Each structure stands twice: as structure tokens, then as C-alpha cells.
């Protein structure tokens, strides 16, 4: 997995949710130890992301976030606690980087700067209204890249808790399903962009085409790759219609229940076709060999990192949260932090 992608997704998640509001303050820092200072701007950003997270955790989306409870706590207290932990984590990450003798490579520094610049160009007006300076935002980004570095030092091939290829493979073979699918949309788009549903005859032809591919695959006369190439040609598609995926069907919410149910009932190498009404499409599903898929991914450095993060990232961040919560030797500027309230983000 590219570090840039993970950092960007994390940082943009809050920016796309919370609306702008004004706030200002004259204290420059929120927390510090003997070697690291977390600016008040970074704390405000952490408060901001915690508010964003709270929006997805409250039980009633029709009510104001701060009028509700999260995990048994008033939302405001929950948000402040999350922001405090994130603030301390910035110090913890700095300590861990030093103790493990880690540093960002020149390429990673450039990536972090690029993420900061591109995000700042798009959201600077919003962030500045909250009192967040670019330097404070850069510190947040750098800390996220530091987390990636520490994660690799812990769970990577030479890490203190290194995950072997065998353990990685066993985890995904047990929990995930590998599959390929083709989708035939059962509608056309008119000049205004509105969808026009297929007639019964058009649906019948779509079904006959995909059922024909399935029969050819079952008979060993065609591979799913060849079926996809044939469909691309017949539909005059400009992109590859074959989608190859790997997912935990018990927890994944991306795919319709009909597709997940069908895949769970299929054996490796089996092919099925089905119509999913909600998706307005006819599908051809092929269940791939999960063992082979994982082995191939493990051989590639970036895809192995993606698997490793899926497997261990939650454990890693839970550990960081616990360590940050009880971190000693940190001087907190409580008066400065208390001058910013989560209500500043509430529209």
C-alpha cells in the first residue's frame, strides 16, 4: 500500500464532513515534553477530526451531535478525550521514532509535503477559520507518516513483532474470499443523464449473454478472463470490465447481500450468474482460489503492506491509544485547549 493513499484518506475524511465556523486563540501550544511541542493548531485539528468521527457514531443523525452520548459519555466529553489522545500521540510518535532510531526517508518527506500542500490548497480557508496554521497541519501529516514507519518497525518483516508470510496467508485464507465479477447494467442513460430501465427483451438478451459465458467457463472452453474480453468487445467498452476482488464477506459492506450470499455458497472455481435488482445489473461471479491470490499479493511489497495493515492496523492503533492515554512527562496547556469547544464545529 502506498503511504500517501492511507495518509490522504485519513486526513480528508474529516475535511469532507464538517462545515466551517470561526474560532481564534492566542496560546501557541497544547502539549509538550522535553523535545516535542504540539501546537494549539494541531490540537484544534484533532478536535475537528474527533467531531467528524462523532458524527458517524451518534445514534440519531437527525439530532445535534453534542446533544447525544457516545460510548456512554456526553459527545462533547468524548470528542475532547479523542482530541487529547491524538495530541499526546503526536508526542508518543516522536518518542517512538527516536527510541527506534527511525526517520522519514527523503521520498516520504516529499510525500508528506505533497499531501500537506494539496490538502491545504483545497481546505486552507476552512482550516484557517478554525485557527489551524499550515505548519500545524504539516505536523499532523508528518505524525501520520511516522505512525506508518513505526507500524512497519513493529509488524514488518524485520519488526519486533514481525508477521510471517505464513501467518499473513493463514489469516486471509481463513477470513477472506477472492472472486472476479462482470456486471451488465440493465439500463441505458438518456441525454439528460437519467437512467432508462431495460425492457424485458433487453434483460433476456443480457441474461443469455452472461449465462452463455458461464456455461462456457463451466465446460472448460473459456476462462473468466476470456469471457471479460469477449464482453468488452461486444459492449464496445473502453475499460476492462473484469473486477477482481478480495474481501471479508462477513464484515464488508461494499457488496450487495445477494452477491455475498452467492459467493459464500460457491466452491473455488465455481461460476454463477444472478440479477441484483438494487444494483440494476446482471452479474457473472467466479470464485477464485483465495490461497493463490494471497500468495501473489504477498510477493509484491506494496500489496503485502496492504494485507499487513488490514491484519494488524487496528491492534497497532489501539496500542498507541492506550500508551498515549497514560503517557508521562507531558506538560499540558489546559487553559489553551479548554478555550476551544467542539460546539465551534456545529452548524
Question: How far is 214 from 222, CA to CA, in rounded Å?
Answer: 9
Please state, rounded to an integer, the average pLDDT across all residues of the chain.
92
B/e letters for 138-156, b = 16+ CB within 10 Å, e = fewer, are: bbbbbbbbbbbbbbbbbbb
Pairing mode, strands 331-332 and 243-247: unpaired
**Can you give the pLDDT at residue 325?**
96
Q: What pLDDT score does 98 carry?
A: 97
What pLDDT, on the 0 to 100 scale, is given for residue 9? Answer: 57
Q: Pick from 324, 253, 334, 247: which is nearest to 25 by CA? A: 334
Query: What pLDDT sits at residue 192?
Result: 84
User: What structural domains and CATH numbers belong to the chain?
Assistant: 3-163+301-345 (no CATH), 170-293 (3.10.50.40)
pLDDT band at residue 191 under the 50/70/90 scheme: confident
Report the chain's terminal Cα–Cα distance, integer Å: 36
Rounded Cα–Cα distance for residues 38 and 59 (Å): 33
Residue 112 has pLDDT above 50, yes or no: yes
Position 226 confidence tier, pLDDT thresholds 50, 70, 90: very high
Q: Is the pLDDT of residue 1 over 50?
A: no
Output the pLDDT for position 309: 97
Quickly tell me which residue has 441505458 as its cell. Answer: 188
Residue 117 has pLDDT above 50, yes or no: yes
- Residue 193: what pLDDT? 82
pLDDT, residue 248, reads 97
Q: What is the reported pLDDT for 12?
A: 54
Amino acid at each position: 500500500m502506498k503511504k500517501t493513499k492511507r495518509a490522504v484518506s485519513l486526513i480528508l475524511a474529516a475535511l469532507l464532513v464538517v462545515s466551517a465556523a470561526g474560532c481564534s486563540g492566542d496560546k501557541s501550544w497544547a502539549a509538550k515534553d522535553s523535545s516535542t511541542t504540539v501546537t494549539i493548531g494541531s490540537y484544534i485539528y484533532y478536535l475537528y477530526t474527533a467531531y467528524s468521527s462523532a458524527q458517524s457514531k451518534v445514534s440519531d443523525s437527525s439530532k445535534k451531535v453534542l446533544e447525544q452520548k457516545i460510548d456512554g459519555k456526553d459527545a462533547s466529553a468524548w470528542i475532547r478525550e479523542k482530541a487529547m489522545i491524538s495530541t499526546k500521540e503526536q508526542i508518543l510518535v516522536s518518542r517512538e521514532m527516536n527510541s527506534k532510531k527511525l526517520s522519514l526517508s527523503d521520498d516520504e518527506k516529499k510525500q508528506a509535503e505533497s499531501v500537506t500542500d494539496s490538502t491545504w490548497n483545497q481546505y486552507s480557508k476552512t482550516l484557517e477559520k478554525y485557527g489551524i496554521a499550515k505548519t500545524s497541519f504539516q505536523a499532523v501529516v508528518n505524525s501520520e507518516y511516522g505512525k506508518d514507519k513505526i507500524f512497519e518497525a513493529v509488524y514488518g518483516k524485520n519488526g519486533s513483532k514481525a508477521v510471517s508470510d505464513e501467518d499473513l496467508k493463514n489469516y486471509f485464507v481463513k477470513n477472506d474470499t477472492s472472486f472476479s465479477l462482470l456486471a451488465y447494467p440493465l439500463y441505458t442513460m438518456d441525454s439528460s443523464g437519467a437512467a432508462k430501465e431495460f425492457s424485458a427483451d433487453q434483460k433476456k438478451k443480457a441474461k443469455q449473454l452472461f449465462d452463455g459465458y458461464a456455461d462456457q467457463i463451466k465446460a472448460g472452453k473459456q476462462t473468466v478472463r476470456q469471457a471479460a474480453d469477449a464482453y468488452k468487445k461486444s459492449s464496445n467498452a473502453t475499460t476492462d470490465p473484469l473486477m477482481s476482488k478480495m474481501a471479508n464477506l462477513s464484515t464488508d459492506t461494499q457488496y450487495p447481500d445477494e452477491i455475498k450470499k452467492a459467493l459464500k455458497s460457491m466452491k473455488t472455481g465455481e461460476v454463477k450468474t444472478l440479477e441484483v435488482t438494487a444494483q440494476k445489473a446482471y452479474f457473472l461471479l467466479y470464485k477464485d482460489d483465495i490461497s493463490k491470490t494471497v500468495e501473489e499479493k504477498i510477493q509484491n511489497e506494496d500489496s503485502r503492506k496492504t494485507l499487513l495493515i488490514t491484519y494488524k492496523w487496528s491492534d497497532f492503533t489501539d496500542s498507541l491509544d492506550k500508551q498515549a492515554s497514560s503517557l508521562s512527562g507531558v506538560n499540558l496547556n489546559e487553559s489553551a485547549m479548554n478555550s476551544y469547544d467542539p460546539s465551534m464545529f456545529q452548524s
